[in-house]
Amino acid sequence: MRPARTLATAGRVLRQLSHDPRSIALMLVAPSLLVGLFAWLFSDQTGVFDQFGGSILALFPFVVMFLITSITTLRERRSGTLERLMTTPLGKADFIFGYALAFGAVAVLQAVVTVAFAVYVCGLTVDGPLWQLALVAVVDAILGTALGLLASAFARTEFQAVQFMPVLVFPQMILGGLFMPRDQMPDVLYAISDWLPLSHAIDAVTAVSAGESGSDLWAPVLIVTAFALGSLGLAALTLRRRTA
pLDDT at 224: 93
pLDDT at 188: 93
Q: Taking the domains of the chain in order of start, what are their residue ranges?
A: 3-238
pLDDT at 220: 92
pLDDT in tens, 133-189: 888 888 988 898 899 888 887 777 777 777 788 888 888 888 888 888 888 889 999
pLDDT for 82 beyond 80? no
Residue 166 CA to residue 231 CA, distance in Å, equals: 17
DSSP, collapsed to helix, strand or coil, labels residue 140 as: helix
pLDDT at 222: 94
pTM score, whole prediction: 0.85
pLDDT in tens, 131-149: 888 888 889 888 988 998 8
Averaged pLDDT for residues 54-62: 83
Averaged pLDDT for residues 94-102: 85
Closest CA to 146 of 123, 167, 168, 175: 168
pLDDT in tens, 192-222: 999 999 999 999 988 888 888 788 889 999 9
Angle subtended at Cα 104 by Cα 102 and Cα 106, rounded to the nearest 5 degrees: 75
* Mean pLDDT for all residues in the chain: 83
Percent of the chain predicted with pLDDT > 70: 91
Residue 4 CA to residue 101 CA, distance in Å, equals: 12
Averaged pLDDT for residues 10-34: 84
Angle subtended at Cα 19 by Cα 16 and Cα 24, rounded to the nearest 5 degrees: 90
pLDDT at 81: 65
Question: Taking a C-beta distance cutoff of 8 angstroms, is the pair 206, 53 a contact?
Answer: no
Angle subtended at Cα 209 by Cα 208 and Cα 213, rounded to the nearest 5 degrees: 30
Residue 59 CA to residue 30 CA, distance in Å, equals: 12
In this prediction, residue 227 has a pLDDT band, given cuts at 50, 70 and 90, of: very high
pLDDT at 243: 47
Helix axes 3-18, 21-41, angle to 10 degrees: 70
SS3 content of the chain, % helix, strand, coil (to 5): 80, 0, 20
Termini Cα distance of the chain: 26
What's phi and psi for 56, nearest 5 deg?
-65, -35
DSSP state letters, 26-77: HHHHHHHHHHHHHHHHTTTSTTHHHHHHHHHHHHHHHHHHHHHHHHHHHHHH
**Number of neighbouring beta carbons within 10 Å of residue 134:** 20
